[in-house]
Structure 1
Amino acid sequence: MNKPIRKAVLPVAGLGTRFLPATKAVPKEMLTIVDRPIIQYVVDEARAAGIEHIVFVTGRNKHVIEDHFDMAYELEDTLKARNKTAALELLEKHRPQPGSTSFTRQQAPLGLGHAIWCARDIIGNEPFAVLLPDVIIKSQVSCLKQMVDLYGQVGGNIIAVEEVPDDQTHNYGIVELAKEINGNASHISNMVEKPAPGTAPSNLMITGRYILQPEIFELLSHQGAGAGGEIQLTDSMLALMKEQPFASLKFEGRSYDCGNKPGFLSANIAFGMDDPKLAEELVPFMMEIIGRPLAAE
């Protein structure tokens, strides 16, 4: 029987240089999509999948993330005094239960693999999920929940993937498929990071959601620097693939890479359109914008 997926790691130590100067004092994970910070969407996805404990791997100047998931006594007292019941209930809804979050520090920017390794003692000897906080996924069923359901069937390690145009595969990590499990899932035989144009083994990119077995930590502890001089998670996953099965899940939904400006703005529009009142005002405005000529470069 497969051990349950109870814990998730969220690496939030990145500097967010693409959004400077906004991220000089505010972590990129706390930039808002409509009315919630990016990190809240990712945490909500994890909780919807049954995750009981979330490990945030933080860096300097990230204390505001910890504050966001804590009580705000002055604010809550003021809301109580003013009878703002709906606002209070909203804060309580998004506040984790006591003891269900941990924060550990990645002291130096040594790569995603190193960030995951920093959570080893908190995760212990059990399988766990990894959710990259730059990516939020809009779906009817939590993307991670879809992955957990597949894990319950096949065990091993699971990677979420989605299709990209063939002429864009060189921008992403791409999986090579082996035997099909079902219409949306297949075993993986290889992963290629940013393959040269025309050489990609498929058009399925790695989305930023993983379920991994704890043996990855031992491999990461010996993993040397890879691309960009950093300890890469992909390198250790490839090593683990020689010992354990990996499967891909083509999840139902759409991802938004909020680590870049087009993805961040697209996510704001997509999630904003879910609110009928906002959509009523957004649609005429967007039609007006679409009708304007493009600004000269």
Structure 2
Amino acid sequence: MRTKVTKAIFPVAGLGTRFLPATKSVPKEIMTLVDRPLIQYAIDEARAAGIKEFIFVTSRGKSALEDYFDHSHQLESELRKKGKTELLEALKETNMDSGEIAYVRQHKALGLGHAVWCARRLIHNEPFAVILPDDVIAAEKPCLQQMIEAYAETGGSMVAAMEVPPEKASAYGVLDVKEDMGSVVSVNNMVEKPAPGEAPSNLAVIGRYILSPNVLKTLNKKETGTGGEIQLTDAIAKEIEGDGVYGFRFRGQRFDCGSKAGFLQATVSFGLSRDDLKDELMAYLQEVIAVDKAAQ
């Protein structure tokens, strides 16, 4: 029987420079998508997949992120007095019990692999998940839950994957596919940000991982790769000859909320999925399109 995946690492040490000046004082992960911060979507997905321990790899200036998960007794008291039970229920989703959440610091920005390595002492010798909050995935069944169900059959290490246009493959880690089994593919190799025209496929790695603890042993060597950084992709690739690496074609729509365009697209999509917002938002979008067509 495979060891259950109950721990997840959230690398959130980045400066969020693409969203300056907003991120001068507000961590990017706290920026709101409709009415929930990006990090809440990641936490909800992890909980749905059975994650019990949440490990945040942070950096200086992320105190607002840590405060977000604390109980706000004064706010809860005020809402209770005013009988605002729906808002109280919404707040419960943001609270983390003592011991559920841990924070470790990444003092230097040395790459995603280094960020994951920073959490090594909290993982010990068991499989673990990694979730990048920038990648928000809208899915009927949460992406990580889909992956954990597939992982129960494959073991090894698993990465979420989606097909991207060939001309965009150089922006991602890309899978060299050994065998395509539908939703699951076995992997020959993984290439981090291949040069244009040299990608082994158009199947790109997205920010969800289930990893063997052996990956941490490889990261312990601190070998640098593309861009002079310690790449998580390189460490995962070392597992191919061991227990194997698998790509998982998840069912859902991924939004790159690390970019302004992706963040706006996600805001519109999530807004339209809300019964309390969709009619007013759709009417506005139709009006904007009509005005734009008239101007042409």
Please name the residue that 1:68 is paired with: 68
Say whether 1:221 aligns with 2:220: yes
CA contact (8 A) 1:223 1:236 kept: no
Shift of 1:242: 2.8
Q: Residue 240 of structure 1 aligns to a residue in which SS?
A: coil
Cα contact 2:147–2:248 (8 A) shared by 1: yes
Q: Secondary structure at the match of 2:93?
A: helix
Q: Deviations over 1:159-189 (max 9, x none)?
A: 1001112232222221111123x32111111
Deviations 1:90-109 (A, max 9, x none): 11133223311111111111
CA RMSD of aligned residues (A): 1.4
Q: What SS is found at the alignment partner of 1:241?
A: coil
Identity in percent = 47
Contact 1:157–1:247 (CA under 8 A) maintained in structure 2:
yes
Mapped partners of 2:237, 2:249: distance in 1:
20
Distance 1:152 1:224 in 2: 30
Quote the residue 2:279 is aligned against.
Answer: 280
Compute the TM-score of the two structures, normalised by the length of structure 1: 0.95
Cα shift readout 1:185-205 (whole Å, capped 9, x = no counterpart): 111111112223332221111
Once the two structures are TM-superposed, the CA of residue 41 in structure 1 deviates from its matched residue by 0.2
Partners in 1 of 2:202 and 2:223 — Cα distance? 28
| Structure 1 position 243 matched with structure 2 position 242 | yes
The letter for the 1-side match of 2:136 is I
- Per-residue CA shift, 1:6-27, capped at 9, x if unaligned? 1000000000000000000000
Tell me what 1:200 maps to: 199
Q: Distance in 2 between matches of 1:213 and 1:131?
A: 15
Q: Is residue 7 from structure 1 mapped to residue 7 from structure 2 by the alignment?
A: yes
Kept in 2, the 8 Å contact 1:219–1:240? The answer is: no
| Partner Cα distance (1:89, 1:61) in 2 | 29
Structure 2's unaligned 5+ residue stretches are none
Q: 1:139-173: per-residue Cα shift (whole Å, max 9, x none)?
A: 00010001100110111100100111223222222
Unmatched 5+ stretches in structure 1? none
Tell me, yes or no, if structure 1 residue 47 matches structure 2 residue 47: yes
- Structure 1 residue 265 corresponds to structure 2 residue 267: no
**Secondary structure of 1:94 counterpart:** coil
Task: Give the Å deviation of 1:292.
Answer: 4.0
For 2:109, the equivalent position in structure 1 comes to: 109
Task: Tell me the CA shift for residue 293 of structure 1.
Answer: 4.2
Shifted more, 199-208 versus 133-142: the winner is 199-208
